[in-house]
Amino acid sequence: MSTNKLILTGANGQLGKTIRDLWATHEISAKFELINFDRNDLDITNHNEVDEKLSIAGASIIVNAAGYTQVDRAMQDSQEAFAVNKVGVTNLANWAAANSARLIHVSTDFVFDGSKNEPYSPEDQPSPLGVYGESKLAGEEQLQELLPDRHLIVRTSWLYSEHGNNFVKTMLRLMSQRDQLSVVDDQIGAPTSTRSLAELLLACINGKILSGLYHWNDGGGISWFEFAMAIQQEALTQAVLDKKIPIQPITTAEYKTPAKRPAYSVLNRSKILADFDCPTENWKQQLRVVIDAIANAENIEE
């Protein structure tokens, strides 16, 4: 076993679980020992705990898959959102700075306000619409300041997997329970499977060392309504659903949520595609793989 250690924080989130799923069969496992910290093992908001536990574990790389991800709840709970998404990242970055480690971090399309109508590049000016995006942007800024040469930030969007809670699993559940559904058709974004993101992150650690700010998704720019239609179609094809229900397109104004969402948040992947050998499956192929994983899961977790 190599003495190189990689610490994964937020190991029980949907991205964290996918990284763990891929780890055993990935060539990176011959180079690094993976140390998983879920929230019970390590609360990243606690500065002393971060210093103590990371120092005991020792690591040359931290992958931060921990985050406060509840966009609507963040509006009432901004202290907790900033504690996790800003202070937590600061704590990890400070430890990495003092211990010559690298920090790989994931951020969000919600740092943008959605007023653009072509894909956002990493150079575009962020302007979050709500607390979640503000707290994620604050975390990015801390990391860039505290660890200028040894960080990688990958912004992504519309994450889903067979794990945890996400749009795909919610749609499958509602489509099996209801006779019809209404889904927002005027917010455009790009779905991203945690599998493609995890593969990208592991490749970025294993191969050419990448640092700086990048954007990643599974290609395309679609509305939630179009995504729901594709989910239904794929689930019918794979016999995960046994009946087709009508799905109505609706507007954001007809579906009120506490937090405002960007109307357009497709991220431009050109920079990472130019700098790195990335996973090549598009969002429809990724969706097929995830629905297959959901179909084959013995117990679909919530």
Q: Which of 68, 120, 132, 264 is catalytic?
A: 132
- Sequence-distant (6+) residues with CB within 8 A of 84 are 44, 45, 66, 67, 68, 135
Integer Cα distance of 37 and 60 in angstroms: 15
User: Rounded to 5 degrees, what are φ and ψ at 209?
Assistant: -75, 125
Q: Which is nearer to ligand NAP, 10 or 128 (CB)?
A: 10
Question: Considering only residues 39, 47, 73, 271, which one is a binding residue for ligand NAP as defined by CB under 6 A?
Answer: 39
Structure tokens given for 227? 């995504």
- Sequence-distant (6+) residues with CB within 8 A of 98 are none
- Sequence-distant (6+) residues with CB within 8 A of 89 are 44, 64, 105, 139, 140, 142, 143
Residues from 105 through 134 that contact ligand NAP (CB under 6 A): 106, 108
Q: Which is nearer to ligand NAP, 19 or 203 (CB)?
A: 19
89 to each of 63, 211, 214, how far by Cα in Å?
A: 11, 16, 17
Q: Does 84 bind ligand NAP (CB under 6 A)?
A: yes
Question: Considering only residues 6, 7, 12, 153, which one is a binding residue for ligand NAP as defined by CB under 6 A?
Answer: 12
Q: Which is nearer to ligand NAP, 26 or 67 (CB)?
A: 67
Q: Which is nearer to ligand NAP, 173 or 244 (CB)?
A: 173
Candidates 22-30, 63-71, 250-258, 264-272: pick the segment binding ligand NAP (CB under 6 A). Answer: 63-71
Q: Is 132 marked active-site?
A: yes
Q: Does 232 bind ligand NAP (CB under 6 A)?
A: no
Q: Does 82 bind ligand NAP (CB under 6 A)?
A: no
Could you count the other beta carbons within 10 Å of the beta carbon of residue 287? 22
Q: Does 14 bind ligand NAP (CB under 6 A)?
A: yes
- Cβ of residue 301: shortest distance to ligand NAP, in angstroms? 11
Closest CA to 192 of 114, 106, 257: 106
Residues linked to residue 155 through DSSP beta bridges, in sequence order: 107, 215
Q: Does 283 bind ligand NAP (CB under 6 A)?
A: no
First to last CA, the chain: 35
Question: Considering only residues 74, 93, 111, 159, which one is a binding residue for ligand NAP as defined by CB under 6 A?
Answer: 159
> Rg of the chain's alpha carbons, rounded to an integer?
19
Structure tokens given for 26? 């990935």
- Alpha carbon 97 to its chain centroid, in Å, reads 24
- Cβ of residue 69: shortest distance to ligand NAP, in angstroms? 4
Q: Does 143 bind ligand NAP (CB under 6 A)?
A: no
Q: Which is nearer to ligand NAP, 232 or 265 (CB)?
A: 265
Footprint of ligand NAP (CB under 6 A)? 9-10, 12-15, 39, 42-45, 65-69, 84, 88, 106, 108, 136, 156-159, 164
Catalytic residues: 132
